[in-house]
Chains A and B, each alone.
Chain A
Amino acid sequence: MSRLGTITRRTFLGLAAVAAGGIAVGYYYYRKPYPNPLEDDLAEGEVTFNPYLKIGSDETITVIAPRAEMGQGISTTLAAFVAEELDVTLDRVKVEHGPPSYAYYNAAMLEEGGGFNFWDNSFTAETVRGMMGVAGKMLGLQATGGSTAARDGFDRMRQAGAAARAMLVDAAAARLGVAATELETENGTIVHTASGRSVTYGSVATDAAKLAPPSEVRLREPAQWKLLGKPQPRVDMLDKVTGAPIFGIDVRQPDMLFATVRMSPVFGAKPVRSDISAATAMPGVLKIVPIESTYGSGFGVIAENTWAAFKAAEAIDVEWGEPAYPRTHDAIVSMIADAARSGDASAMRDDGDVDAAFADAPPERVIESEYSVPYLAHAPMEPMNCTARLKDGVLDVWAPNQMPVLVRWFCSDIAGVPGERTNVHTTSMGGAFGRRGELDYAIYATILAKETDGRPVQVTWTREEDMRRGVYRPASAGLFRARIGDDGLPVAVDMRIAAQNMMASLTSRLFPSLPAGGSDPSITDGSRNQPYTIPNYRVSEIQVPLTIPVSFWRSVGNSVNGFFHEAFMDEIAHAGGIDPVEMRRKLMADFPAAVAVVDKVAEMSGWGETLPEGKARGFAFTLSFGSWCGQVVQIADTPAGIKLEKMWIAVDVGTALDPGIIETQMTSGAVFGLSAAMGQELTFRDGMVEQSNFHDFDAMRMHQAPEFEVAVLENFHKMGGVGEVGTPPAAPALANAIFALTGKRIRSLPLSKEAAFA
């Protein structure tokens, strides 16, 4: 089959979860704009121009930033898109998340789902990207993920601002009796310089909104930008330094009840014996109800306050059923490692003739290594929670979530009310890292809201429930081989990577009746699509049939393969006797953007300088989410253990929309990756996750954090993502530094199993 045929079949099978029922709608639907959801809910004196903008006669300008704010700063950058073209400063603008609506589909999220290399601009690759974008629109996929929000909103939201500005100017021209071309805008005011007369946006908004939007708008050139390209104060900062009640857990409604859940920690199992009588009799407990869902089975405890609910949940006497996967950690790990060694593999990249290249390789020129990484929890600071109310045939769901359209879809079905009588209120999130792309918290809250006679109920999970009833970053194992040439560079690499199929896992939770076949490109993401030229280069996917729930975790497959691929590249460099940075320059020579990143981070860090005794550096590079990221970390051997002193990061994002936010996201992504690399691991016992809270699943603390220096480059012609890009190279940079310091090559995360950190 042609590559196009293979890719689309594979991708659409893989995307069955989000695609259900949507594809058949037809092309005409794509051309037709979605209705503006803001029209239904305007305040007195307020008008709307498009799904991204409302202006009130009191001069209030409200921008809709329809992507979830989970810390990545997206609400600020999206608001800046509209504000830039509307010609207002950010402090003039009120930013809201807005309702769930198909109008806010994320085309960019699917565009890179076709499995093509990011740098591939061939007709086929571009055609598939276009088709995937159309699919995103047809499905109304309002989603936050894949580091796509800024790329997706960049044109659409600037156009929204520019169109509204043109309409406001036209209305002002009519009001003042002058030509529109004689008018200028200035931070919410329209000025007729010749006469000195002016009107405000608010005073002409009602007239302007009646005008037809211009068929064409001209966007500002980057050189004319006033907001974009410069660090902006975040629109959410004041709320966050004053403890404002902006999170899901802060939702308060009149007459609200509190609740928690106790779900089976054996994934897929049901209670085989239970006694809720003691728990039900506890003070403050109102009701304990069974919960059955595709996410799991267990109990919901409704009480007068969260603490009472927590105590009663703990007091439920229950025995859970057997898992459909091995009960012990060793057996689970062995299954994955065995699959990497001998499971059926499909090649996802296959350059040259790898088998021939290894067939006649002298044994001393071949290196072979086994790598592994564990299951990981997201562990955002805000534990899972959701608030729901089912009253008078209307369902309200206050959910910190990344998928509002799916939340509405599932919760309305559970509550038995139509979608148009279901209101999803998306709150700020205390971290998410992919966890809020799942729906369990919203499903449980809706189930419990059916039990409270119309009273709202806030369902808060304990940290233990959050940790042990997660949807995890899949564990993975890799078998990596390389043949080193006479010049020290690799002639051939063969990478076999085994993990669970994440899309199949997601489908089993969202659409259990659908078949879940096909490839999962995330298994090899970060190994199969890196900008290296090696004559014989094979990267294969091996699926492991475990049923532990797995899902998207910051940088997804790149979090696994960034480590495997870049730690192995360091091994190759060592075996070939070449400096690891110099080796990258040679192997990446076909990709100038990559070489520029390598050069920049080498220059910043002074790579190659002689370091004092007891200090060492490691380098790694990953292209992920369309951005090219190189990292160097310096570590020191101290009496207390290895200390991370400094990390240098260079990243090419194509177009830097907010350099301040990009810098913080690079740091954030790196800390996230380093936290996992240094100490995080989930282990299993009796089919249950053993870890339960931050005492045994910790993350980097203040005293462990290195100093950071970040350089943002704009060489590549396509814009890349930001939120996840800093994570993948962090673990291999650290592992490679430890090798440089100690001579010990650690191929299994977390590194703490073989190294002590200060």
Chain B
Amino acid sequence: MQLEVDGRQIDIQVDPQMPLLWALRDVAGILGPKFGCGIAACGACTVLIDGAPVRSCVLPVGDVTGRVTTIEGLARDGALHRVQQAWLDEQVAQCGYCQAGQIMTAVALLEEIPDPTDDDIDKAMAGNLCRCGTYPRIRAAIKRAAGNATGA
């Protein structure tokens, strides 16, 4: 089957029931999305499909119809996406394992709500677990990316 991932067409021959995450990681070699739980409970595998955040660990690859964007497809022409840049500026990551998923969810949030309130951030980010407890800096980075550089 054909998938469009990060602006590239890829041809992938797998069981259509295989979750998108494993098709990306084990077959297409796209390692940005991470495996955390396999039941859409932690958000580490989050990718965008036509701009909407999706937990790729539970979505059968055969059901994917739209354009897939992973963390690896965010930077353009060597420049980080503004959300990635905000993450860098706020020094958000600790172990870093969940951060690809956090960033993808934040990208989708800011596309939908350019200037989110704390409540908007809470709602959008609740599905992304971080065991290192980077939440205060994630919140600050989202506000910075939104233009409120003074956030939390």
A69 CB, min distance to chain B CBs, angstroms: 8
Cβ of B26 within 8 Å of any chain A Cβ, yes or no, is yes
Cβ of B108 within 8 Å of any chain A Cβ, yes or no, is no
User: Which residues of chain B from 101 to 149 have a CB within 8 Å of any chain A CB?
Assistant: 103, 121-123, 125-126, 128-139
Cα of A380 to Cα of B35 in the assembled complex, Å:
12
Whether the pair A237, B93 counts as a contact (CB closer than 8 A) is: yes
Cβ of B71 within 8 Å of any chain A Cβ, yes or no, is yes
B54 CB, min distance to chain A CBs, angstroms: 16
12 extra interface residue pairs, beta carbon distance < 8 Å, beyond A70-B95, A243-B31, A705-B135: A71-B93, A72-B94, A231-B91, A237-B88, A237-B91, A242-B84, A306-B25, A307-B26, A381-B34, A382-B34, A382-B36, A701-B125
**A701-B129 CB under 8 A given contacts A307-B18, A307-B22, A664-B94:** yes
Main secondary structure of the interface of B (DSSP, over half): loop
Cα of A247 to Cα of B44 in the assembled complex, Å:
13
Interface residues of B (CB under 8 A from A): 14-15, 18-19, 22, 25-27, 29, 31-39, 41-42, 44, 70-72, 74-75, 80, 84, 87-88, 91-100, 103, 121-123, 125-126, 128-139, 152
B109 CB, min distance to chain A CBs, angstroms: 11
Q: B14, B44, B72: which contacts A242 (Cβ < 8 A)?
A: B72
Q: Which residues of B contact A702 (CB under 8 A)?
A: 121-122, 125-126, 128, 135, 138-139
Cβ of A667 within 8 Å of any chain B Cβ, yes or no, is yes
Whether the pair A463, B128 counts as a contact (CB closer than 8 A) is: no
Q: B32, B91, B130: which contacts A660 (Cβ < 8 A)?
A: B91
Cα of A686 to Cα of B39 in the assembled complex, Å:
25
B116 CB, min distance to chain A CBs, angstroms: 12
Of listed A242, A252, A283, residue having the most chain B CB within 10 A = A242
Q: B18, B41, B70: which contacts A694 (Cβ < 8 A)?
A: B41
In the complex, residue of chain B having the shortest beta-carbon distance to the beta carbon of A380: B131
Cβ of A113 within 8 Å of any chain B Cβ, yes or no, is no
A437 CB, min distance to chain B CBs, angstroms: 15
Whether the pair A429, B131 counts as a contact (CB closer than 8 A) is: no
Q: Which residues of B contact A239 (CB under 8 A)?
A: 96
Whether the pair A703, B99 counts as a contact (CB closer than 8 A) is: no
In the complex, residue of chain A having the shortest beta-carbon distance to the beta carbon of B105: A702
Cβ of A197 within 8 Å of any chain B Cβ, yes or no, is no
Digit string of A695-730 for contact with B (CB within 8 Å is 1, else 0)? 100111111010110000000000000000000000
8 residue pairs, one from A and one from B, having the closest CB atoms: A671-B133, A430-B97, A71-B95, A243-B32, A240-B96, A243-B71, A71-B94, A703-B122
A721 CB, min distance to chain B CBs, angstroms: 16
Q: Which residues of B contact A36 (CB under 8 A)?
A: none
Cβ of A621 within 8 Å of any chain B Cβ, yes or no, is no
18 A-B residue pairings within 8 Å (CB atoms): A234-B91, A234-B93, A237-B87, A241-B87, A241-B103, A242-B32, A242-B74, A242-B75, A245-B31, A252-B31, A307-B26, A382-B34, A431-B131, A463-B36, A664-B137, A672-B133, A699-B131, A700-B133
- Interface band, chain A: 35 or more
Interface residues of A (CB under 8 A from B): 70-73, 231, 233-234, 236-243, 245-247, 249-250, 252, 258, 283-284, 305-307, 310, 379-383, 428-433, 460, 462-464, 660, 664, 667-672, 675, 693-695, 698-703, 705, 707-708
Whether the pair A250, B36 counts as a contact (CB closer than 8 A) is: no
A450 CB, min distance to chain B CBs, angstroms: 22
Q: Which residues of A contact B34 (CB under 8 A)?
A: 247, 249, 381-382, 430
Q: Which residues of A contact B80 (CB under 8 A)?
A: 241-242
In the complex, residue of chain B having the shortest beta-carbon distance to the beta carbon of A247: B97
Q: Which residues of A contact B128 (CB under 8 A)?
A: 702
Q: Which residues of B contact A429 (CB under 8 A)?
A: 95
Whether the pair A668, B123 counts as a contact (CB closer than 8 A) is: no
Cα of A237 to Cα of B95 in the assembled complex, Å:
10
Whether the pair A431, B22 counts as a contact (CB closer than 8 A) is: no
Q: Which residues of B contact A693 (CB under 8 A)?
A: 37-39, 41
Cα of A429 to Cα of B34 in the assembled complex, Å:
12
Cα of A667 to Cα of B133 in the assembled complex, Å:
7
Q: Which residues of A contact B135 (CB under 8 A)?
A: 671, 700-702, 705
In the complex, residue of chain B having the shortest beta-carbon distance to the beta carbon of A670: B133
Cα of A671 to Cα of B138 in the assembled complex, Å:
14
Whether the pair A305, B27 counts as a contact (CB closer than 8 A) is: yes
Whether the pair B93, A236 counts as a contact (CB closer than 8 A) is: yes
Of listed B31, B126, B138, residue having the most chain A CB within 10 A = B31
Whether the pair A241, B129 counts as a contact (CB closer than 8 A) is: no
Q: B35, B88, B132: which contacts A431 (Cβ < 8 A)?
A: B132
Whether the pair B32, A381 counts as a contact (CB closer than 8 A) is: no
A302 CB, min distance to chain B CBs, angstroms: 13
Q: Which residues of B contact A667 (CB under 8 A)?
A: 133, 136
A690 CB, min distance to chain B CBs, angstroms: 16
Q: Which residues of B contact A433 (CB under 8 A)?
A: 131
B119 CB, min distance to chain A CBs, angstroms: 9
Q: Which residues of A contact B27 (CB under 8 A)?
A: 305
Whether the pair B36, A668 counts as a contact (CB closer than 8 A) is: no
Whether the pair A703, B126 counts as a contact (CB closer than 8 A) is: yes
Q: B31, B123, B129: which contacts A381 (Cβ < 8 A)?
A: B129
Cα of A250 to Cα of B24 in the assembled complex, Å:
12
B149 CB, min distance to chain A CBs, angstroms: 17
Q: Which residues of A contact B18 (CB under 8 A)?
A: 305, 307
Whether the pair A695, B75 counts as a contact (CB closer than 8 A) is: no
Whether the pair B100, A381 counts as a contact (CB closer than 8 A) is: no
**A668-B132 CB under 8 A given contacts A241-B87, A307-B18:** yes
Cα of A486 to Cα of B15 in the assembled complex, Å:
76
Whether the pair B129, A699 counts as a contact (CB closer than 8 A) is: yes
In the complex, residue of chain B having the shortest beta-carbon distance to the beta carbon of A430: B97
A292 CB, min distance to chain B CBs, angstroms: 27
Of listed B33, B84, B91, B103, residue having the most chain A CB within 10 A = B91
Q: B29, B38, B136: which contacts A705 (Cβ < 8 A)?
A: B136
Of listed B35, B74, B129, residue having the most chain A CB within 10 A = B35
A199 CB, min distance to chain B CBs, angstroms: 33
**A241-B93 CB under 8 A given contacts A381-B44, A702-B138:** yes
Whether the pair B131, A707 counts as a contact (CB closer than 8 A) is: no
**A307-B31 CB under 8 A given contacts A242-B75, A702-B122:** no
Whether the pair B132, A707 counts as a contact (CB closer than 8 A) is: no
**A430-B125 CB under 8 A given contacts A241-B84, A241-B88, A245-B31:** no
Q: A694, A695, A708: which contacts B136 (Cβ < 8 A)?
A: A708
**A236-B96 CB under 8 A given contacts A699-B129, A702-B135:** yes
Q: Which residues of A contact B35 (CB under 8 A)?
A: 249, 306, 383, 460
